[in-house]
Chain A
Amino acid sequence: MRPPALAVEGLRVVYGGREVLHGVDLEVPPGQLLAVVGPNGAGKSTLMRALTGLVPAAAGRVTVDGRPLARLSRRELARSVGYVPQADGRSLPFSVRSFVEMGRYPHLGRWGSLQAADLEAVGWALEVTGTAHLSDRALDTLSGGERQLVSIAAALAQGASTLLLDEPTSFLDYRHQVEVGALLERLHVEPGLTIVTVSHDLNTSLAAADAVLALREGRVAFHGPPRDILEPATLEAIYDVELRLATWPGCDLPLVLPRTGGR
């Protein structure tokens, strides 16, 4: 049996002198699409950063494909786990193609150019994200939605079997939210990537997910199938706000609606 793609035991993370994660346990089987939800400041981004080794664990352990993360080199880790950080809107002076090619870094020697396998991976990443037609454009000329698809393409070019995404659809318009969501579902099926994605939008992220992890104040508040989190009491315990559930014809899962404006 294959080891879990990601396994986390008793993970504590101290960040900026404050403990942000207080002992998180989590197991992500290979090929699972896991949605990570929770209020602001719950530690979702910190969990993602710990899973990519960007912040050290103060206690506990993380394994990637059965290997302890602490013993992997950065390059080894990059060949197993791709990471798409939150969009920070900072200027990147590269063309789309160069940026995606940089994703091949963990497979490249110090000298020499990209080999056939590298070019194939880059070509596939551009193709599957639908950004091939942008490849000669400068990153700074893209819209936020296009840029996010290119960020995902660059992480895919790494050839990792696990993909972590931190709020990939925040700040995107509806069309690009749908495009990114559909892309993740495609990658989940073929080539069957393990995907962990942080989101604030329960309705879209739960619909495609195999499992959901809810964090609250640095602890696991819920971990299970998406249908089970959709109880008013469970949601309110996580989000500290009254939420309503509504059913809609054609939707498997109930939809979550915040109570706004007293109407």
Chain B
Amino acid sequence: MRPAFGILLLAAAAAVTLLASPLIGVEPIPLVTLLDPRGTEPAAVILWQIRLPRVLAAFVAGAGLAAGGAAFQAVFRNPLATPYTLGVASGAACGVALVSRFGIGLAAAHLPLNTLAALAGAFVAVATVWSLTRLRPQASSTVLLLAGVAMTFLFSSLILFLQYTSSLGSSYRIVRWLMGGLAAVDLTALGHMLPFVLAGLVALAWNVRELDLLATGSDLAASRGVDVVRTRDVIFFATSLMVGGIVAACGPIGFVGMMAPHICRLLVGAEHRRLLPASMLFGGAFLAACDTVARLVISPAELPVGVITSFLGAPFFLWLLLRRSGPGEV
């Protein structure tokens, strides 16, 4: 398939998803509501104040997660590398668990405490893995990935400890947060997430040539003129911050970051000037669609969207891996 056609296809799919998702739901939306964004009848409020922000948030989160996954897969030259594999999500979760366990009294301070805790946790995870790259500059990307996996286990055990020793109520809050979901995402949450995502995307777009070269190996990239250490640091922190912001708003939503870049590489190739926009379109549309499914599948109740992304994503991804044995894989 020609790359330009692949991008067009993805853009069309994303447009359809963005337009259709807000109209689909338990409460039917009469089409006249579309003409009146400031309407006060229930259908207008549901469409314009609940569903639309939520669909947009899902799209932004999915786009950011997918772009972050593509960037980490290039920097670490490993198809399994995503900010999640390096412990960002588990670090964020650990932060939230800590707050839920001990921070009840502070919640009155009108701070988005969960958001801050998640960001702090993500930062601790990233800073740890990053300092490993500094202590052992020769360490291979495999070593870093394993370090990330070790961090994930460490955080998981801390989360289990906090959960085990906390009250039933806060234990439930922790579990619920860990499932990831967009039910509570409104315009404010979207506003919290957007600066992180925009900053991350700008940093990735800024380094789009460098991402290509880093994917060929750090020695080769350096010999072609890339300042590898500086570039890797910028990409590493910008991506982690972006994903930290998303996780803080939506909880850890699995699989989008790993799967979207893989599928898009098959559609548009591995050059990041095409792969990044394609992954964003795919990841955004995929998460928005999954969130719509999550709203419907056990309606009137809702499933956490993380359940859907992994449930739909994993089998599809396995099928994709087994189907392709030809060239062009990563």
Chain A interface (Cβ < 8 Å from any Cβ of B): 16, 49, 52-54, 73-75, 77-79, 81-83, 85, 88, 90-95, 98-99, 102-103, 105-106, 108, 110, 138, 140-141, 155, 158
Contacts and interface: CB of A to CB of B under 8 A. Distances in A.
A125 to B, nearest CB: 13
A77 B225 contact: yes
Nearest to B265: A93
A158 B329 contact: no
Closest 4 CB pairs of A and B: A78-B225, A106-B225, A93-B270, A83-B223
A110 B223 CA distance: 18
Contacts of B215: 92-94
Contacts of B217: 85, 88, 90
A99 B216 contact: yes
B330 A91 contact: yes
A37 to B, nearest CB: 22
Given A98-B212, A98-B271, A102-B216, A93 B328 contact: yes
A106 B213 CA distance: 11
A90 B222 contact: no
A95 B216 contact: no
Question: Interface of chain B, helix or strand or loop or mixed?
Answer: loop
A105 B329 contact: no
Contact of B227 (A74, A83, A88, A140): A74
B222 A74 contact: yes
Contact of B138 (A16, A73, A92): A16
Contacts of A98: 212, 269, 271
A94 B271 contact: yes
B327 interface: yes
A91 B329 contact: yes
B173 interface: no
A85 B224 CA distance: 12
6 contacts: A93-B215, A94-B212, A98-B212, A102-B216, A140-B329, A158-B225
Given A90-B77, A93-B270, A138-B328, A105 B222 contact: no
A220 B224 CA distance: 28
Contacts of A103: 224
Interface in B311-330: 327-330
A85 B223 contact: yes
B27 interface: no
A130 to B, nearest CB: 21
